[in-house]
Amino acid sequence: MWWEREGLEVRDGRLSIAGRDAEEIAREHGTPIYVADAERVADRARALRGALEGAGLRGMVRLALKAQREPELLRFLRGRVPFLGMDVCSPGEVRWAMEHGWPPAEISYTGTNVSERDLDVILDAGVHMNVDLLTQIDRVGRRRRGGVIGLRVNPRIGAGGVDTLYSGVRPTKFGVFAEQIPEALGRARSHGLEVDTVHVHVGDGYLDDGLPRFEEAVRRTAAMTGELLAAGCPIAEVNVGGGLGVPQREGERPLNLVAWAAMLAEHLGPFGVTVATEPGDFLAKDAVVHLAEVVSVEDREGVRFVGLDTGWSAMGEHFIYGSPVHFVLCRDANGPPGARVTFAGNINEGDDLFAEDFPFPAVAEGDVVAALGVGSYNASIASEHCLRPPARTLVLSERI
């Protein structure tokens, strides 16, 4: 199957997660439930660092905490992947990262529209802060004269499915534009602040077809980095953000990390800086499966609805980001598709639908299905809409 990998396999026709039968997990622990293959996240982090180092760069990898903050998984990563840093974007995430083992020196803060209350936590914690608005430079400078900040820049080009939300042809709420660099530097110096980091985030879920636009964004970011260095800024790191994608549909190929790292080396390598990345999807998306029970199968005016004991309150990434959801029947994971079905959740809202016209094997009430590729954002953005509780998470720390 196109989605199979080590740790997510079909064994004797049944879905296996980290060597364990998926349906048996559901029967033992109940549904809905997230099941995380922790070693997959560690593998992805090692692959990223290996690609950066293989391109001759001094690389830094951070996990985007907003994408995956499960405590047991963080404990595993802290012990197993000691080089992994943390990317945070709120005071609550600053506290969470520190409470789960990351010292301030290993935490990078990049947020927007930061309030005085936010700064009470961020500045006192001592984490490195990247600012992304001219006025934000002043806000930080008034609170703490001297010290260092990073500068989030906007290269006006993005890569991936929602690139225009971050950096595109129309104005966004993120980042300093190239023509604003002199003013940003002037404001920083008026407060005794030094700029030591350039940060950029240009999209979401890009694969190989997004690399040309990503490279152009890096080229423009390199030009801004060079301008800052020429002005005497002690730039020690260029952080190229996240947005690296993983396959979510049949026919998609994994991102070519060698090509990705080579682009970074070409444009940023000459500066001799640390090159950092801080993905969420690439590290965690395909490491987690969501198991749910089928509670109804009913034909309605020519459409077969498969109702689940989960809903968008538990698994909301599809509704916020438009991410596709691929379903697998756990007891017949490689079975031939039969009828086309619509997967519906248990939230009392009409748009609580995960997939429509989806080819699927014959399914019945009581079956367990798996939603794949849900390891980033879903659990983090869960709500209690209709007073449905969030799904629990089972972290599998070893494969058998």
Contact criterion met (CB below 8 Å) for 351 and 274: no
Contact criterion met (CB below 8 Å) for 354 and 317: no
Assess whether pLDDT exceeds 60 at residue 378: yes
Give the burial class of 165: count Cβ atoms within 10 A of its Cβ; 0-12 exposed, 13-18 middle, 19 or more buried. Answer: middle
pLDDT digits (tens, 9 = 90+) for 167-203: 556 677 889 999 999 999 999 999 999 999 999 998 8
For residue 18, give Cα distances in angstroms to 9, 154, 174, 185, 283: 8, 40, 39, 50, 16
Greater confidence (138 vs 158) lies with 138
In this structure, are strands 237-239 and 274-277 parallel, antiparallel, or unpaired? parallel
Residue 35: what pLDDT? 98
pLDDT digits (tens, 9 = 90+) for 94-122: 999 999 999 999 999 999 999 999 999 99
Angle between helix 38-54 and 71-80 (nearest 10): 40
Rounded CA separation 186/176 (Å): 13
pLDDT digits (tens, 9 = 90+) for 322-349: 889 999 999 999 999 989 999 999 999 9
The model scores a pTM over 0.85:
yes
Supply 28's token pair: 């033992």
Assess whether pLDDT exceeds 90 at residue 4: yes
Rounded CA separation 189/178 (Å): 18
Q: How far apart are the first and last CA of the chain?
A: 21
Across the chain, what does the average pLDDT equal?
95
Assess whether pLDDT exceeds 60 at residue 382: yes
Least confident window among 45-54, 153-162, 226-235, 315-324: 153-162
Average pLDDT over residues 242-268: 96
Residue 275: what pLDDT? 98
